[in-house]
Structures are given as C-alpha cells and as structure tokens.
Amino acid sequence: MKKRIPLFSFTFLVFYVLVIVARQLPGLVHGRFSFGEGSHSLAEWLQFAGDILIYYLLALTAYLLLCRFHPRRQYLQLLFGVPLVCIATYFCCLFWTRAFEDAPVRMSRYFQFIIIPISAQVFFATIFYLVRYAQYKELQQVELQLQNRQTELSFLRSQINPHFLFNHLNNIYALVYEQNAQALPAISGLSELLRYMLYNTNETVLLSTEIGYIEKYIALQQLRFEHPTMITITKSIIDEAAHIPPLLLIPFIENAFKHGQVRVKENWLKIEINNDANRLSFSCTNVTGTQKKDTTGGIGLSNVKQRLNLLYPGLHQLEITETDHLFVVKLQLQYGK
C-alpha cells in the first residue's frame, strides 16, 4: 500500500485544529478564544509549536508502523513498536515541558495530563490508516476483477480464431478435393479475414467494419456452392460512429451456415442490423437443416454469450428461439454511453 504522507500531514493539521476548537467551545459560546492561561509569550508559542511537532511525529510514526507491519500480518512487531513510540513520546514531551517550566513537574499529574493527547494521536493514526487500507483493498479488488475480466475476454476471443479457422479449412479442403475453381478465391478470402482477426487488436471496432467483415465472411461461404444461395442483409445504420467489440456478431452467422439448410432455393438466411445513437438491434433468422449437430463444435454461441455478459452486463438482451424449421437470434445492445 502506497504511503500518503502529504495527505496524512494535512489531515493531521485539520484534526488538531478541530481538537483545539472543540476544547475552546465553551469559551467560543461567549466570544472568547485562547490557547490556555498565560500571557502567550514567545516561549509559550514555541512550547505550543514543539508540542504539535512531537504529536505529529508520534502520529506519523504510528502510521508508518501500521503501513509496514499490518499488511504483512506482523502483529507482534506492531504491538511492540507502537507502545515503544508512545513511551519515547512521553519522555520527549516531559523534557520539552521541563525546558519551559520554572516549577518542578509532578510525574503522576503530568502522566494523567499527557496520556490523553498521546492516545488521541495513536487513535488518529490508526483510523487514518484503516480508512486508507480499506480504500486500498477495495481498489485492489476492483483491479483484480478487471484483470480477471480482461484475461477471460482475451481467452474467449482467442477461442474464436481456431474455431473459425478449422471450419474454413474444412470448406477449402472440400473445394480442393473436388478440384473446384473456387478453391484459390476461397484461400484468398480466408487470408483477408484472418488478417482482420489477427492484426486488429483494438477492444472495439466501428460497426461498419464489423458489418464489412460479416459480408466478406458470407462471400467466402458462398464460394462453396456452384450457385450462390439466397441471403438477405438489411442494414439501417444511423450512427456511423458506433463501436462494438470485434467478432461479436459473426458466431451467429457462422452458426447459421453450419447448421442451416443452406441448399434450399428460397431465402434461407435473413440478417437485419439497425442502430441509432444508443442501441444496436441485430437479428439472424435461418432455415434449420436436417443434419445432426456435431458434438465437438458449438463453442461459438456460448462464447458470445459469455462475452456479452462480461462486456455489457445489464445492457443487452439476447433471445434465441428454435422451431421445427427456423432458428432465430435477436440481440438488443445498448452501447453504455
């Protein structure tokens, strides 16, 4: 925990002024204020300043001892060090008082008088430290949560790349195996998409960039077929400056190509993307296929659900419905501005 000595010093000064004012409250009610009985000569002011300095050093030393030993749970050193400092302060105050007092100082009476200010300084240092320590632990917890969140997001995003790559390598393998003329364009398209995935390290991208990525992905998928399938993409982008996390929407499109009835003649896939200054609306509807889902895949949708929960907690609504012939995904996303 970082020591805040300037803040401690300022707080101590405010605390000491408040103590003095509290002691003078009865006199202040009647319009009188004084530091005590006497003529307030230069010697008395010097003694008063010395007392403040000694109390400040006591409180500061107690605070530094707490900063050193408490976080490490070295309570024995702390229990030994603080009383030792208090005893040293007591004798410093005694010698300082004797230097300005003409009459002898009675030890028993002086002890009763000085024990309250010493206890007050230790109490002040302890309270200041505990407040700072609580703030430090809270900040540490927040930083830990942010680190864990960032680590999880990085892991989730890293999962997308091999998942995406394996699917397309299988498609390209089929094209090459069939000696299809679309094999080379498919490799080129995959290279372009991988460049976007690997070299775009920003936390967010323009919505238009992500839409362009989706369109390139669909164009790459269409190369699998001799005749392009019927797909409808409807866009209404009002806020051109809107940003979203990269690769957030593509798992839904990928899922449609993986499990949809791609070879039907009618319009089997409909994509709608609308946005304004505060909200993104996305929907993906595809005709479901008759093939069974593989047991090794399927990380795409669970991946995007986890990312949404991490990035937009309470700011998104995801609905996934499946009937005998349709698979529908609807996503409402608030940008959190």
Q: What is the pTM of this model?
A: 0.52
CATH 3.30.565.10 boundaries in the chain: 200-334
Cβ-Cβ contacts under 8 Å for 1 (sequence gap 6 or more): 67, 71, 132, 133, 136
Residues in the chain, total: 337
Mind listing the pLDDT tens digit of every residue in the chain (337 residues)? Answer: 677 888 888 988 888 777 766 666 655 555 555 555 545 677 777 888 888 899 899 999 999 999 888 888 888 998 999 999 999 998 888 888 888 776 676 777 777 778 888 898 899 999 999 998 888 888 777 765 665 555 555 555 555 556 667 767 887 888 788 787 778 888 887 787 777 766 666 778 899 988 988 888 888 888 777 677 788 999 999 988 898 888 788 888 888 888 888 776 678 899 999 998 889 999 999 988 766 554 444 556 777 888 888 788 888 999 999 888 889 999 999 875 5
Amino acid sitting at position 30:
H
Q: Distance (Å, rounded) from C-alpha 302 to C-alpha 284?
A: 16
How far does the chain reach from its first CA to its final CA, in angstroms? 33
Q: Is 122 exposed, middle or buried (0-12, 13-18, 19+ CB in 10 A)?
A: buried
User: Distances in Å between the alpha carbon of 84 and those of 58, 79, 88?
Assistant: 11, 9, 6
User: Distances in Å between the alpha carbon of 136 and those of 78, 143, 239?
Assistant: 20, 10, 40
165 C-beta neighbours (distance < 10 Å), count: 14
Q: Residue 64 in contact with residue 4, Cβ under 8 Å?
A: no
Q: Which tokens is 19 given?
A: 């103590």
Q: Distance (Å, rounded) from C-alpha 334 to C-alpha 315?
A: 5
Strand pairing class (243-244; 279-287): unpaired
Q: Residue 69 in contact with residue 133, Cβ under 8 Å?
A: no
Q: Distance (Å, rounded) from C-alpha 59 to C-alpha 89?
A: 10
Q: Distance (Å, rounded) from C-alpha 180 to C-alpha 222?
A: 13
Q: Distance (Å, rounded) from C-alpha 269 to C-alpha 70?
A: 63
175 C-beta neighbours (distance < 10 Å), count: 18
Q: Enter the DSSP assignment of 248.
A: S
Under CATH, domain 200-334 is a member of which superfamily?
Histidine kinase-like ATPase, C-terminal domain (3.30.565.10)
Beta-sheet strands, E only, within the chain: 205-206, 231-237, 243-244, 269-275, 279-287, 316-322, 326-334
**pLDDT tens for each residue of 267-302:** 889 999 999 888 999 999 998 876 655 444 455 677
Q: Distance (Å, rounded) from C-alpha 87 to C-alpha 97?
A: 15
**pLDDT tens for each residue of 56-91:** 999 999 999 998 888 888 889 989 999 999 999 988
Amino acid sitting at position 206:
L
Secondary structure (3-state) at 333: strand
